[in-house]
Structures are given as structure tokens and as C-alpha cells.
Amino acid sequence: MTSVEICLDDLAGVRVAEEAGADRVELCAALAEGGITPSIGTVGGALRAALRIGIQVLIRQRPGDFVYDEDELQAMVDDIHSMRALPNPSGVTLGFVLGALRADGRINADATRRLVAACGEAPVTFHKAFDQLPDRAAALEQLVDLGVSRVLTSAGASSALEGADGLARLVEQAGDRIAVLAGGGIRPANAAELVERSGVREVHLRAPLTVATVAAGAPTAYDHGSREVTSGDVVRAVVDAVSGAGAGAAPTAAGERLA
């Protein structure tokens, strides 16, 4: 069985994704700028809304690179602690999505270890900063040693489908030690092919739908007249597409249940 994770920054999308059959969401803010940490109120709202679906929270203090100074790193640690303390009425899986690099392009092991420690028993995903690394095979081993649960990647390619061969190599290397979460350009039309070619058991995508904003009047710098929400139809189509695909693939990373 292939699990589906939906990346979103609209709070209503948590219920939409759950009702459409997704397994997890990655909750972000400001996806138009690549995504940053959502507010604690947004995370609290997502935990109240979720009945089954796992909530993965992006921990990224600002847009731009993934090289953080001490103040930024401490802010991210504080965010993790604050979010872990929130009420979780349905007891859904709360996890975190993070990544820290050094100026020379390698994983910042000290920063990553500190962030992972702040997460406690919560599952940790190392995000697509992984694709900037020159030696992803070595980096995968480092992430295993650091206690990371999964890595989000297209194997350095511009899309997951283009990186299918590289993803297959990562899946084989990972075994059941760490999950490989494929992300990048995944749509209903190509999701099953990607799973079959790469052997991944987890896919990650946005499912955007553009809708008109409610307020009347001419567009402004703050209200362009439309916004993006999560499309239940797209989520459902991907869930259906990958259902049964890659049935012989490796199991999810040891110690973590599917949401």
C-alpha cells in the first residue's frame, strides 16, 4: 500500500485531505515562498480538525537557504516544543519536517541532531534540502544515524518521475531503516507509474485549486482576487491512482505507523 501526503497551507485543507483519503498532510505557511513554519494557532487548529490523518509540521524559520544561525535554530527548537505541547484530541500522529545544511553544502549534523532531539518520539522528515546534497547516498546514511524517519526527495531531479531511477536506488539502500518519500511534480496521471518504477511507498504533492476570494472590490496588493485551497478531487484521484501500485515495495520505516 502506498501512502499519500498532501502539502498545504490552508487550514480547511486538513479536513479536505482527510475526507479524500490522504494519510498525512504537511502543514506549512507561505507556500508561494517555498513554505515556512505555520503559526502555533494553525497547528492547534489542524490537530483539532484531524480525526485520523497525520499532521507533519514544516519547521523552517524563514525562506531562502537552509543555513541557520543560532537564533534561528533556537526559534525552530522552541516551535517544536510548543507544538508538541498542544492538545491532540484524536491522538493523531504529529511529526515534523525539517532540514539544516552547512555553508559548504553538507548536512549540518549538529543542528539536525538538535532539532531531532527536540522532536522526541515524533517522526521526523528531512525535507528537500536533501536534493541539494552532492552525495545523497552518503547523506542517507547520515540521516539514518541521526534518527530521521523519512526523507523527502526527487533524487535531485526536477521531478520525481524524472528521478525515478535515482529514487529506486535510494529505496534499495534505505531498506526498512528510513522511508523514501517521493515529491516533485506528482499528479494523478503519473503517480502510479512513479510508484511502479521507483518502488517508493510514499508520495508527496500539493493539490491546489484556485478559487475566488470572498471580498468584493478590485484586487489589491493583499487580495489578488483569488487564492489557492486544497482540491479534494485531486487528492482522491492520487489516492485512487496509487492504490495497489508497488504492492511488493519495502515496508514503511521501522518504528512508525501509517497515519
What pLDDT, on a 0 to 100 scale, did the predictor assign at position 121? 97
Amino acid symbol at 47? L
What pLDDT, on a 0 to 100 scale, did the predictor assign at position 42? 98
Q: Which domains does the chain have, with CATH numbers?
A: 3-242 (3.20.20.380)
What pLDDT, on a 0 to 100 scale, did the predictor assign at position 254? 35
What pLDDT, on a 0 to 100 scale, did the predictor assign at position 214? 82
What pLDDT, on a 0 to 100 scale, did the predictor assign at position 108? 98
Q: How many helices (H) and strands (E) does the chain have?
A: 8, 10
DSSP conformation class of 75: H
- Helix, strand, coil shares of the chain as percentages rounded to 5? 35, 20, 45
Q: For residue 6, give every residue at least 6 positions away whose Cβ sits within 8 Å of its Cβ, in sequence order, or none.
A: 13, 17, 22, 24, 25, 26, 204, 205, 206, 207, 230, 235
What pLDDT, on a 0 to 100 scale, did the predictor assign at position 257? 33
Q: What is the pTM of this model?
A: 0.92
Distances (CA, A) of 225 to 139, 140, 211, 219, 221: 43, 43, 9, 5, 10
What pLDDT, on a 0 to 100 scale, did the predictor assign at position 246? 65
**pLDDT < 50 regions, the chain:** 248-259
